[in-house]
Amino acid sequence: MQENFEAPPDVDLDLSRWREYDDLLTDSLWLLGRRDSSGPHTSEYWGNFVPQIPNQIVRRFTRRGETVLDLFCGQATTLIECRRLGRHSIGVEINPEVAERGVELVRRAEDPFCVRASVIVGDSSSPGIVERVRSELPAGTHGSVHCILLHPPYRDIIRFSDDPRDLSNAGSLAEFLARFALVVRNAHELLAPGRHAALVIGDVYSNSEWVPLGFECMQVCREAGLRLKAINVKDIQGNERGKGRNTNVWRFRALKQGLYIFKHEYVMLFRKEG
């Protein structure tokens, strides 16, 4: 049987050379190793995720010259990768100081394709964020972005600021999910039909109970109209800053309390139908 090497319209890959993309993941277990520290990437901020995640998502599901949106951009990890890869990018960050540092790091990133990158200081759950993002879009995008990344706080594991709008300050799981749903609603409105969004999230342990935060947030995305395409499990060993603890202490606690130590998080992929 002869294969059709025509790539989908949202993929910047030459599938006639598919064997050459050996660094692109196609399995659901992601063993990425230590975070990429090349260029301006830094681990100084506890909320940063590894650059390999946006690198994988952007290369798999966008074309050069398209626009990627990160609604929890932190110190602009996604925007740095987009600049390297020739994608326009927009980030939304609620903490002004973190946003300012993100802008500084993006400016230091290599920009071989002369693309746009901008950071909006604001609340991704607010109704007005949709128009603020659209005001930053390059011409010809018809008010939509081509890919979205969502990397919210893992509820209250880390308090990122004193801002009451910050999701890490939500008073309960129900409040967290309700406010996250507002972010996802904005994401759904901004995402072009047929395009993809990625949710990077982990679970939490609270009051002697494993709380499946990842799957709770997954369901929020599904209820917003995003179709689940994949659940990828990513190993966080070597990238535990802010997520892990002293290994020996927690191994003792695990044995004593009958629990298991978090060594993974999820990279969930969704598609907006249409």
Q: Is residue 20 assigned to a domain?
A: no
Q: Is residue 58 assigned to a domain?
A: yes
Q: Is residue 18 assigned to a domain?
A: no
Round to whole Å and give the CA distance between 73 and 106.
11
Q: Is residue 250 assigned to a domain?
A: yes
Q: Is residue 6 assigned to a domain?
A: no
Among candidate residues 218, 223, 85, 197, the one with its CA nearest the CA of residue 144: 197
Q: Is residue 239 assigned to a domain?
A: yes
Q: Is residue 112 assigned to a domain?
A: yes
Domain count, the chain: 1
**Sheet arrangement for strand 191-201:** 29-30, 226-235, 264-272, 191-201, 145-150, 67-70, 88-93, 117-121
The CATH number of residue 36's host domain is: 3.40.50.150
Q: Is residue 173 assigned to a domain?
A: yes
> What's the domain range around 74?
25-272
Q: Along the 274 residues of the chain, how does pLDDT read in single tens digits?
A: 567 777 777 788 888 899 999 999 999 999 998 889 999 998 887 767 899 999 999 999 999 999 999 999 999 999 999 999 999 999 999 999 999 999 999 999 999 999 999 999 999 999 999 999 999 999 888 999 999 999 999 999 888 889 999 999 999 999 999 999 999 999 999 999 999 999 999 999 888 899 999 999 999 999 999 999 999 999 987 655 544 455 788 889 889 989 888 889 999 999 999 8
207 alpha-carbon distance from chain centroid: 27
CB atoms within 10 A of CB 245: 12
Round to whole Å and give the CA distance between 34 and 240.
10
